[in-house]
Structure 1
Amino acid sequence: MRKISPWVKPTLEYGPLLLFFVAYWLLRDSSIIIGGAEYSGFMAATLIFVPVAVASTLVLWRLTGKLSVMQAMTAVLLLVFGGLSLWLNDPRFFKMKPTIIYLIFAGLLGTGWLLGRNWLQLVMGEALPMRAEGWRVLTGRLIGLFLGLAVLNEIVWRTMSEAAWVNFKTFGLTAILFAFFIAQSGLYQRYAVTGDEPGPGPVPPPS
């Protein structure tokens, strides 16, 4: 993986989300006409967000030479569900996207967890060296988090206002993920690979 400036990666990952937030609040009371169809401000913000987010993922891939499975899958699902929302002029597909993503992530990690494979290490192993036991514990906790986020997203978009969901998507989900990983500091220390013991070694790819 090629090294890039520390600010480039978070800018490419979170910049499109902030752009979506700003675009929504600027356009929320407006509507635009495309091909004879009228689109709400929410759909206009989605139309801006989808290509920018996909382009940012491609730029990150170009700069680093690598994308994680989660990053690639998120980009594909964004194209699918964002495209469906825009094609059908129905925001529900875009709002359901986080639910689908979190359920898929939980399913993939759960499969690896049951098979005794540290698939999470494939994504985070370089940045967070831990022993195998630590990865198994973290994987179990992350499965629970993803399932909880999937349920929470469904509750928010189905029962709250559109503006509330936009705020939740932009700041709520991000804050929960950050808080989760910060809260695992004790786990990182407990299972950290020290200088006098061998590292976890390469993880075999899923068979």
Structure 2
Amino acid sequence: MTEHIIEEAPNKPGRKEMSPLLKFALELGPLMVFFFANSRGEDLAAAFPVLGDLGGPLFIATALFMGAMVIALSVSWAVTRTLPIMPLVSGAVVLVFGGLTLWLQDETFIKLKPTIVNALFAAVLLGGLFFGKSFLGYVFDQAFKLDDEGWRKLTFRWGLFFVFLAVVNIVVWKAADAYYGPGQIADDAWVDFKVWGIMPITFVFMMTQIGLIRRHSLEPIGGKKE
């Protein structure tokens, strides 16, 4: 039997699955490393001088973020012998833009990363629908099972949401620079919003999709299917 490197399509029999909790930890973990390293960059540089050679806190955070993404993908491969599509795309962009950030010592590249990633996700999801593919199922199929119409509708909504996130990143980045002036304080404000602002916004969006998920679920949710 041919072994697939990329995770297989949702609802496909025999698809290898990972614990939803582990999957969430692997996707959120690198972001938490990024936040911690940016907020404690000076302490990390003092404890590990080699990190200080990378530059300020944002550059240290970028390097550790890259390492955390590689570890997360490696764990995914070790557990399922496949690579999840969304983290793989995000990881590739992190490595490219993070590498440019460190090489050129220009924070612009790492700040552009969320916009590039979200724009790519939007393009993949909305473009996939054009060709009859609901790629969102690759991300959430282990959390819940939907019929084909449900995956199409949810994929379309998430595609538009990723467009929104791509724009919001630029707005917050430029607003922080305009308000504080380019520098560490503006960097901290951008990182804080990236970690503590995007997650609540995403959570609220996800909550608004519960009705759609219930209507198209192939399995009972909360003990009762609507």
Same fold (TM over 0.5): yes
Alpha-carbon distance between aligned partners in 1 of 2:59 and 2:133, rounded to the nearest angstrom? 40
Name 2:132's counterpart in structure 1.
Answer: 116
TM-score by length of 1: 0.82
Structure 1 pair 2/185, CA: closer, same or farther in 2 (3 Å)? Answer: same
| Contact kept? 1:157, 1:165, Cα under 8 Å | yes
Query: Are 1:179 and 2:204 an aligned pair?
Result: yes
Q: Kindly tell me: are residues 158 and 133 of structure 1, through their superposed partners in 2, closer, same or farther at Cα, counting changes over 3 Å?
A: same
CA distance in 2, matches of 1:194, 1:21: 37
Structure 2 CA distance, aligned partners of 1:2 and 1:137? 25
Pick the aligned partner of 1:88 from 104, 110, 115.
Answer: 104
Give the percent of matched residue pairs that are identical in Structure 1 and Structure 2: 38
Instruction: State how far apart, in whole Å, the 2-side matches of 1:166 and 1:38 are.
Output: 18
The change in CA–CA distance for 1:114 and 1:98 in structure 2 (over 3 A counts) is same
Matched, 1:163 2:177: no
Return the match for 1:147 from 160, 163, 175. Answer: 163
State the match for 1:18 in structure 2.
Answer: 32
Contact 2:98 2:109 in 1 (8 A): yes
Equivalent position amino acid for 1:128 in 2? F
Within a 5 Å distance, the mapping from 1:101-112 to structure 2 comes to: 101-112=117-128
Aligned length: 195
Q: Secondary structure at the match of 1:58?
A: helix
Partner of 1:203: none
Structure 1 runs (4+) greater than 6 angstroms displaced: 29-34
Gaps of 5+ in 1: 196-207
Structure 1 residues 13-52: aligned runs within 5 Å: 13-27=27-41, 39-52=55-68
Deviation for aligned residue 1:154: 0.6
- 1:136 deviates by 1.7
Q: How big is the shift at 1:19?
A: 2.0
Alignment partner, residue 89 of structure 2: 73
